[in-house]
Amino acid sequence: MTDQLLWSIGFWLIVLGVAVSFIAVLWLVFSGVKSGKGKVKGGGVIIIGPIPIVFGTDKKSLKLILVLSIVLVVLLLILTLFSYRVFQ
């Protein structure tokens, strides 16, 4: 029962992540076409273990991505501890 639930939650989180990414790209494309500006800002993060490696084009993007990656790492640690207690 628990394995099925965790698999289902993981699957739907992946589907949600892909959907949010797709909607964000469409939103950026349409807002760029509408405004007529050719300026692009962005960044990314690579998480190796609990250490986020952040890169971006400007300070505002870097700060936002750094905060989001720290939240993601904390959430990952909480879920790991929670799943450790559930399966013990």
User: For 12-64, how does the pLDDT look when each residue is reduced to its tens digit (9 = 90+)?
Assistant: 999 999 999 999 989 888 877 676 666 777 888 888 877 888 888 888 888 88
Residues 28 and 69 in one domain: no
The Cα–Cα gap between 34 and 87 comes to 51
> Same domain for 19 and 45?
no
Range of the domain at 21: 1-37
Looking at residue 76, what is its pLDDT? 86
Provide CB contacts within 8 A for 66, sequence distance 6+: 45, 52, 54
Global pTM value = 0.53
* Same domain membership, residue 33 and residue 9: yes
Cα(24)–Cα(15) distance, integer angstroms: 14
- pLDDT number for residue 16: 95
- Alpha carbon distance 88, 84 (integer Å): 6
Same structural domain, 70 and 48: yes
Overall domain count for the chain: 2
All residues at 6 or more sequence positions from 76 whose CB lies less than 8 Å from its CB, including other chains = 50
Q: How confident is the model at residue 88 (pLDDT cuts 50, 70, 90)?
A: low
Distance CA 50, CA 73 (A): 6
